[in-house]
Amino acid sequence: GTYYPLTGMNEQVRQQLVDDHFLFVSGDPNLKVAGMERDWPEGRGIFHNKDKTFLTWVNEEDQLRIISMQSGGDVRGVFDRLARGIKAVGDSVKAESGKDFMLDAKYGYVHSCPTNVGNRYACICPC
């Protein structure tokens, strides 16, 4: 797959990500008040695989949002890809930094957005 940093993004790439409904944008008033849009667009980007069924958003609302999706009703396939992706990203973070994702025994995975605290999964299978 390919990682696309928001800083210095080519206009053709930006438009394709918009057309694919993958690009997140600045402007949410709640994120602004919380200080989560400081230095926009520095340090933000999107990764997706060649099939556009696995994506990661870097420093959008959460530090990292991992997304698995595909058309049809194969929920198991979407979940299996998500599980493999979470493990691969976690292994990469561990190899690079020596640290694991932040996991609290009571609250689950730690996020910057309070609505996403814990283990939050959203499976999307548009028909």
Confidence class of residue 92 from pLDDT cuts 50, 70 and 90? very high
Q: Which residue has the higher pLDDT, 77 or 111?
A: 77
Confidence class of residue 104 from pLDDT cuts 50, 70 and 90? confident
pLDDT-wise least confident of 2-11, 56-65, 81-90, 105-114: 105-114
Of the candidates 68, 52, 66, which has an alpha carbon nearest to the alpha carbon of residue 1? 52
Confidence class of residue 117 from pLDDT cuts 50, 70 and 90? low
Average pLDDT for residues 58-67, to the nearest whole number?
A: 84
State both tokens at 56: 């990661």
pLDDT, residue 23, reads 87
Structure pTM? Answer: 0.80
Query: DSSP assignment, residue 67?
Result: E
Average pLDDT for residues 79-106, to the nearest whole number?
A: 90
Neighbouring C-beta atoms of residue 54, cutoff 10 Å: 22
Contacts of 98 (CB under 8 A, 6+ apart): none
CA–CA distance, 68 with 84 (Å, rounded to integer):
10
Q: What confidence tens digit (pLDDT) does each residue in 25-41 have?
A: 788 887 788 787 888 88
pLDDT, residue 45, reads 93
pLDDT, residue 26, reads 81
